[in-house]
Amino acid sequence: LDQETRRSFSHKACETTAELLVSIAVEQLGVHCEDVEQAVIWHEDVLGNHPEFARCTEQLASMMQHLTGSAQPRAEKADFLEALRTMAEHSQKAKEFAKKVYEDYRAKNCSAAEAYRRFEDFNSSAPAGKEGLEDMSSVELQLCYDEYKEDPEVQHWWSKAGVENSLMMAASVQSLMKSGGAAPSSAPEDKTDKKGKKIKPSEIVEMQELMVDEMKRLCEACREAAKVSSKAWKADIAMQMVQALASASVERRYGCSPEDMTMAGLQNAPTLQKNERFVRATEKQQEIIMTVATFCPESK
């Protein structure tokens, strides 16, 4: 849709229209939407512990966000480029920072509490984006890129900012967690890392399992440090720290960055999707991250 048409749509109108169309489609199956809603309420306890129901609920929420976001005006190209440049600069600094903290933590020159404080200071020193662009969601970023991707400068800064890898990482986790879901098949089969060595599915599985082991250790260290801390820990910073330090450990052992690992995972998705060890490790990582959030009273 052109921008003028998108601006004539409201967030609520898009949401209501989508819900109406879904209701009509559901009733084609001979079931009333009111009955479905009532059944969900009746079986709330069972469905609350059903992973497939949780995944479907998350997918519906994501699709609704994408739909309502698609109807809204895009940021101007110049503003989008400015946001990408800021993200690229911060992304590079974040990688270097995480590696330094990991090396200090590994050498026991830095405790979990000190590592958290350093991550908190790093986040507070991050440059603020232009007003209205500092909190662009992944949907908004993707929609803006789709609008301006023919511009070589946009392509350059999109790549430098690492947005594509982040979006693919999120998409690959969702895809690989779905039992029996269709896996990407268009990627070339001879993906290699920076050293030219092929990344085998078995190596990816080992990396994922190492991530689990490292995240477990970091989670326990963080739990103990948070207990005795005079200041409440923030969940988003603690989760970022656990993931970043675990990724740094994997990169140190295998010479494979998180971006390389994501790409290799997509390349080998058909095989990994059927690998119980890989799926179990992926699920375990999600559980650990959720555990980290539980002992952090502050979520922002």
What gap in Å lies between CA 58 and CA 60, rounded to an integer? 5
User: Which of the four pLDDT bands, split at 50, 70 and 90, describes residue 217?
Assistant: very high
How large is the average pLDDT for residues 183-193?
A: 39
Q: What is the pLDDT of residue 69?
A: 67
- What count of Cα atoms within 13 Å lies in the side-chain half-sphere of residue 107? 7
Indicate the range of 41-55, 164-178, 262-276 predicted with least confidence. 164-178
pLDDT at 192 over 70: no
Q: What is the pLDDT of residue 97?
A: 94
How large is the average pLDDT for residues 17-39?
A: 84
Q: What is the pLDDT of residue 170?
A: 56
What gap in Å lies between CA 85 and CA 225, rounded to an integer? 35
CA distances from 95 to 123, 257, 259, 295, 297 (A): 13, 10, 11, 26, 27
pLDDT at 191 over 50: no
Higher pLDDT, 134 or 31: 31
User: Which of the four pLDDT bands, split at 50, 70 and 90, describes residue 9?
Assistant: confident
Q: What is the pLDDT of residue 221?
A: 95
Side chain identity, residue 243: Q
What gap in Å lies between CA 295 and CA 288, rounded to an integer? 11
